[in-house]
Amino acid sequence: MSADTYSLKVNGTDRQVTESLPGESLLRVLRERLGFHGSKNACEEGECGSCTVVVNGQTVCSCLVLAESVTGYEITTIEGVADDDGLSDVQQAFIDTGAVQCGFCTPGLVMSVGALLDSVPDPDELAVREAISGNLCRCTGYGRIIEAVSQTVDGRRDDGSRS
Amino acid sequence: MLNGRQHGGVSVTIATSLEDACAALAVEPCPLVLSGGTDLMVEVNRGSRRVGDIVVVNRVPELVGWRRKGDQLRLGAAVTFAEICGSELESLVPALAQAARTVGSPQIRNVATLGGNIATASPAGDSIPVLAALDAVLELRSAEATREVSLRDFITGVKQTCLLPGELIEAVRVPVLDGPQEFCKVGTRNAMVISVASLAILANRGSRRITVGLGSVSPAPLRASDAEDHISPHINWDGGAIPDEATIAHFARLVAGAANPIDDHRSSALYRTHAIRVLARRALSRVLGRLSAT
């Protein structure tokens, strides 16, 4: 590895980051160096959550993480939440409930909701609201997003009872 | 050391031991200590801060996690706010857990650390009033030496600390107190808010004292000592009677009188003083209610 190259493990695959500049955020590296454009860049100060990705099982604002500080960690972006070319159940529920309008906040919200449901399979509404409190949506309001979470929870419960 | 890289004349070192971290910091000019990075990266993204050499410390085992020893807690500087508000610490230092839960958003709490909050030394740091009320002690370490400094001596002004070049915060020590605690914060909304005014009130049955720490109303950590002196003897520490309304109102006035706020883009000094008085009364009532109930 040359002196100015490092590796990030994104969606299960090690990827070399070259030609990076000092102080680049994980968001910038994901978007500009590695071509993962699903994580959105809006505020660059942690306010909006549109850049949310999961690092070692926990949501982070990728704009506030120094890219090199997460070498060796498991990074999951919106591109990595579904198997092959399909959609995850959370993504499908967002579509079904009309929780997507302009779509800019959606990748971040899907990451936050996914991480919540991985740790708390049947959260109460307060837990849902707290889990998405760092994700701003200015189109739909939050009613449909919370509905999408309920639909996902119901779907997983039905799957669980069938299997 | 896991990773020591240089690019554009800037090195990023990920320290995996305390010794490595201190060695990496013992050079001229002194590199920046980075933990979660949630404060630093805002400035970097904005272009208002030029990035120099960086030592990442949040993988150093001695800085991660916390332990209890008797009636003392030792919190590693790299303990995250998510770890503080989602653990046994909720019952051991309730006010600190309450404050931790108000920090930023879940995404920020997952990486932002207690040591980072202290080293950033913002008057609005959410942990600061609680740590002031707890008389927290910081363990500082460099390649040559270790020393202990109280939180109130450590933060000397707005974003000013007595941290020396080459030093890092290793841990924060706070007592486990016998008595209810309350943290209150005023801001424009519940989530993602930088505090306009905040306050912690802790009861300590052992010393028969109420302690009060204030946030966002002074350049450095602040205690409302006159208010503490006033209210503590009025409390029946063996349960039962609580102070009358006039005594509580006077307490709230004394707390507000201790505040030394400014006008800025987030609020006015007048409103901050008012908010502190309201919070003081509210938080004390909650603490007293639980004191008499247990």
B91, B68 contact by CB (below 8 A): no
Contacts of A133 (CB under 8 A, 6+ apart): B105, B106, B190, B191, B192
State how beta strands B181-186 and B168-175 pair.
unpaired
Partner A contacted by B105 (CB < 8 A): yes
Q: For residue B115, give how far its alpha carbon lies from the nearest alpha carbon of chain A (Å).
A: 16
Indicate the residue among A57, A77, A97 that finishes a domain. Answer: A77
Is 70 exceeded by the pLDDT of residue B1? no
End-to-end CA distance of chain A, in Å? 47
Is B177's pLDDT higher than 60?
A: yes
Indicate which of B49, B105, B107, B113 best probes the interface with A, i.e. most A CBs within 10 Å of its own CB: B107
Chain A residues closer than 8 Å to B37 by CB: 64-66, 69
Q: Domain total for chain A?
A: 2
Query: Do A19 and A71 sit in the same domain of this protein?
Result: yes
The mean pLDDT of A46-63, rounded to a whole number, is 97
Fold of B3-56: 3.30.43
Whether A26 contacts A46, CB under 8 Å: no
Interface check B188 vs A, CB under 8 A: no
Query: Band of the pLDDT at B89, cuts 50, 70, 90?
Result: very high
Q: In the CATH scheme, what architecture does the domain B181-293 have?
A: 2-Layer Sandwich (3.30)
In a domain, A84, yes or no: no
For residues B99 and A75, give the distance between their C-alpha atoms in angstroms, rounded to a whole number.
28
pLDDT in tens, B256-283: 999 999 999 999 999 999 999 999 999 9
Residue A3 has pLDDT above 60, yes or no: no
CB contact under 8 A, B104 and A68: no
* CATH number where A109 lies: 1.10.150.120
Partners of residue B85 in chain A, C-beta under 8 Å? none
B86 and chain A: CB distance < 8 Å anywhere? no
Does the CB of B1 have a partner CB in chain A at under 8 Å? Answer: no
Name which of A6, A44, A46 is nearest B5 (Cβ-Cβ).
A6
Phi, psi for residue B141 in degrees, rounded to 5: -140, 140
> Cα B253 from chain centroid?
24
Summarised one tens digit per residue, pLDDT across range B279-288 is 999 999 999 9
Residue B4: is its pLDDT beyond 70? no
Confidence tier at A2 by pLDDT (50, 70, 90): very low
Domain chopping of chain B, boundaries:
3-56, 62-175, 181-293
Which of A21, A50, A77 is a domain's end point? A77
Structure tokens at B92: 């051991």
% of chain B exceeding 90 in pLDDT: 89
Output the pLDDT for position A118.
96
Residue at token pair 């009532």: B285
Domain housing A46: 6-77
**pLDDT greater than 90 at residue B8:** no
- The pLDDT tens digits for B108-159 are 999 999 999 999 999 999 999 999 999 999 999 999 999 999 999 999 999 9
From chain B, pick out residues whose CB is under 8 angstroms from the CB of A133.
105-106, 190-192
CA distance A57 to chain B (A): 10
What's the CATH code, domain B62-175? Answer: 3.30.465.10
Q: Which of B172, B137, B143 minimizes the C-alpha distance to B17?
A: B143
Strand partners of residue B149: B138
